[in-house]
Amino acid sequence: MTVPARLLAAATAVALALCLLPGTRADAVVGISVLAALAPLITLLRHPAAWLMWSLVAGMLGTWAVSMAVTDISPALAGATQLLGLVLAVSLVVTLYAQHLRARPADRRRHERGSWARRADQAALAVVTGLATAQIATTALSPTAPVGAAWAPVDALVVAVLLRFACSRAGLTRSLQLVLAAGAVNCLYDMVASSSGVRLQPLDRPVQLLWALSMALFVAGALHPSAGTAFSSSSLRHLRPESGRVLGLVALAPVPLVLALLNPGGRLPWLVYVAAGTALAALTTARGAQALAASEAYARLDPLTGLANRRGLQSAYEALLLAASSTGGPVGRLVLLDLDDFKVVNDTHGHESGDQLLCVVADRLRTAVGGAGTVARSGGDEFVLVLHPGAPPVDALLRAALDGPVTLAGAPGTRFDVRASAGWVDLEEDSRLPHALADADIALYTSKATHRGAATAFVPAQRQEVLGQLGLGEDLRRLVAGGSGAGQLFLLHQPLVDLVDGRVLGYEALVRWQHPTRGLLAPDSFLPVAESQGQGAALDGWVLAQACATAAGWPADLTVSVNLGRSSMVDPLLADRVRAALRDSGLDPRRLHLEITEHEALPADAGVAALHELADLGVGVSLDDFGTGYTSLVYLHRYPVGVLKLDRSITGADTSDELIAGLTSLASALGIRVLAEGVETEEQHRRLAGFGIDAGQGWLFGRPVPAADLVHRAEPVSNPM
């Protein structure tokens, strides 16, 4: 809090205390009114973006301060300024509700599910508004009611509306809560004053304590740290749960009694108040019952998609078993499906687009299953289908639900081809949901490991295979952490050779795992496990450190190439890890090449800043396995690629000359060197060199061997030209 704000807060506390003393009350009331008018001005200086609402508050409080200051001097001016302040107060309330209405689309789904509740709320508000309006009219027309007494029902209605608004919102800032409380107390003051017939009460009367309290609350609201966002749509859009929003009706319930206690000159027949109170009680009771039922229903629904959640899934599962036991027929089946590459959507287009995709998939699954079962979301991008006997085959359901691309509002112009892997298990009468989910999960694991995008039925043999993979992952986690009993990692090195003169340019470091019980493991058997369990970056870090330390002892003209998996590319500490490996080993950065593998699509910003930073140090960047996986020409623009490594599927004898010539021409135009992988014969060597490809890698030039077996010299090859 700034110094002026602290001084104003202290002065307000002193003025409020002085209002308690009859002898100083009149001056203190004027003083605290002036202080309240100054507080929003400080807020405007601190938060100029919130100028509209706080300007209205400042204008309202400023006119009221003038009204209090001239009450004894010029009652006419005091009355006019008080009326102007009321006009600004109404403008403030209308603007507040307008912002609330603009914020409502974000909660449209919740509103649609509670349409009956909205009608009950609106009916209660209509009863209160109608009753207050009738009393305003009778008071204004009554010859016995004092002048100005018609304002008292208005104040009663405004207090109820403000309290209803505050009770129905979950995200109100403390600043706005204080402002609403100040408005409610101010309306109570005006209601008491108006009902007595003297709206401009003498400043030394006890009722002025209510006025002083409202001014102090306005000061607290304006000076609170959250004042800058008090009226933002984000603080207005979050409704309370259905059970909490019943409090909004509770705020309306006392209005008939309060109106009945106002000036008798405008009082309606008692039967009217009794009828209004009875109607409000009935609406509140019905609303409470509806809110309880809605809360119980929401407890079984996923809030994002509207599908069943875990509790709803359990209910549907138990109902399925109960129906099967009563008929003695087949039970049904349980399907667990997981969206393939969903993380790519989140990383590339944002979590809002990911949520939209989940909602679209949920609607499609619900439509495809129809009355043949229940669809639930178990969390993340996983869905569970509880299918009744006679439901369509799982493959047919998935095709019906997921065929056809999806276009999302959060990514206009981008069409997503939705694909899901699934596992399913036939149920029996004694099946238990946790066991069925575990078996379906094993079948899903098998789908993802062998043929993504398909549905696999569970068989007991899968359990041992999956348990073996999980055990391998646990061993790998222990190995990377430096534990014992999991074997050891080591590096092999394969030469990268100039295709013209056979000169060895450097070596690619390839990791192997000597497992204590499974023997020698190739990267394909454990790198995917490392990535899936979050060990990929740590494993790449180990390879990087070992490769740099080994290469530091080689001749100064030889490079070392190290692969970076997806986990490393999205690691925010990538540049720091590489610099640490270079520093610890003493290796010249120009002798290190980092290879981007393309087996998984990368987010648009993954590793971009880090690789450009490292390239500025001299570290080379290669695009590995070009032509397979998620090959994208955008990578050539996004990353500082210096070498394009053509996959063996492109460098083979069955690849057209036009394709190879086109790729080499593209690389040449971009100033990128080309390396051919999978070179195994002299004929292949001569053909690739004829296209101007710079370097090669393959068994023709050497198989991967330990560092101790490397021969750092040019291999004797004939001139390929």
DSSP for 481-549 reads TT-SSS-EEEEEEEEEEETTT--EEEEEEEEEEEETTTEEE-HHHHHHHHHHTT-HHHHHHHHHHHHHH
Region 61-75 average pLDDT: 89
Residue-level pLDDT at 274: 93
By CB neighbour count within 10 A (0-12 exposed, 13-18 middle, 19+ buried), where does 557 fall? exposed
**Does position 382 have pLDDT exceeding 70, yes or no?**
yes
Give CA–CA dist 132/126, Å, rounded: 10
Region 509-517 average pLDDT: 87
Region 25-41 average pLDDT: 93
Which residues in 127-154 are b (16+ Cβ under 10 Å) and which e? bbeebbebbbebbeebeebbebbbbbbb
Residue-level pLDDT at 624: 84
3-class DSSP string for 327-388: HCCCCCEEEEEEECCHHHHHHHHCHHHHHHHHHHHHHHHHHHHHHHEEEEEEECCEEEEEEC
**Does position 136 have pLDDT exceeding 70, yes or no?**
yes
**pLDDT band at residue 271 using 50, 70 and 90 as cut-offs:** very high
Least confident span in 22-31, 478-487, 616-625, 688-697: 478-487
Q: Could you report the per-residue pLDDT of 342-373, keeping only the tens digit for each?
A: 777 776 677 777 888 888 888 888 888 888 88
**Does position 518 have pLDDT exceeding 90, yes or no?**
no
**pLDDT band at residue 496 using 50, 70 and 90 as cut-offs:** very high
Contact status, residue 26 vs residue 37, Cβ threshold 8 Å: no
Region 174-194 average pLDDT: 90
Going by the DSSP 8-state scheme, the letter that residue 593 receives in this structure is E
Give CA–CA dist 661/692, Å, rounded: 9
Least confident span in 35-44, 151-160, 250-259, 629-638: 629-638
**pLDDT band at residue 113 using 50, 70 and 90 as cut-offs:** very low
Region 549-554 average pLDDT: 92
**Does position 227 have pLDDT exceeding 70, yes or no?**
yes
| 102 vs 424, residue with greater confidence | 424
Residue-level pLDDT at 1: 67
Least confident span in 189-193, 401-405, 590-594, 690-694: 401-405
Residue-level pLDDT at 33: 93
Least confident span in 338-347, 509-518, 671-680: 338-347
CA distances to 337, 398, 433, 560 from 423, in Å = 6, 11, 15, 42
Q: C-alpha dihedral over 5, 9, 14, 19, to 10 degrees?
A: 120
| 494 vs 482, residue with greater confidence | 494
CA atoms within 13 A on the CB side of 427: 30
**Does position 718 have pLDDT exceeding 50, yes or no?**
no
Give CA–CA dist 29/71, Å, rounded: 11
Least confident span in 54-68, 232-246, 378-392, 450-464: 232-246
- Using DSSP's 3-state secondary structure scheme, residue 679 falls into coil
Both structure tokens of 352: 């809002």
**Does position 436 have pLDDT exceeding 80, yes or no?**
yes
Give CA–CA dist 42/438, Å, rounded: 61
Mean pLDDT across the chain: 83
| Residue partners of 325: CB distance under 8 A and separation at least 6 | 429
**pLDDT band at residue 600 using 50, 70 and 90 as cut-offs:** low
Between 25-46 and 208-223, two packed helices, what is the crossing angle to 10 degrees?
20
Between 310-327 and 433-450, two packed helices, what is the crossing angle to 10 degrees?
110
* CA 92 centroid distance within chain: 32
DSSP letters spanning 439-451: HHHHHHHHHHHH-
Residue-level pLDDT at 106: 44
| 50 vs 61, residue with greater confidence | 61
**pLDDT band at residue 719 using 50, 70 and 90 as cut-offs:** very low
Of 170, 163, 169, the C-alpha closest to 187 is 163
Q: Could you report the per-residue pLDDT of 653-665, keeping only the tens digit for each?
A: 778 888 888 888 8
**Does position 411 have pLDDT exceeding 70, yes or no?**
no
Residue-level pLDDT at 110: 45
Region 591-613 average pLDDT: 81
Residue-level pLDDT at 354: 80
Both structure tokens of 425: 């298990």
Least confident span in 107-111, 376-380, 541-545: 107-111
**pLDDT band at residue 213 using 50, 70 and 90 as cut-offs:** very high
CA distances to 23, 86, 105, 123 from 564, in Å = 80, 67, 44, 63
**pLDDT band at residue 234 using 50, 70 and 90 as cut-offs:** low
Going by the DSSP 8-state scheme, the letter that residue 426 receives in this structure is E
Q: What share of the chain is helix, strand, coil (3-state, %, to 5)?
A: 60, 15, 30
Give CA–CA dist 436/433, Å, rounded: 5
**Does position 38 have pLDDT exceeding 90, yes or no?**
yes
Q: What percent of the chain has pLDDT over 70?
A: 89
Give CA–CA dist 158/94, Å, rounded: 12
Give CA–CA dist 97/146, Å, rounded: 32
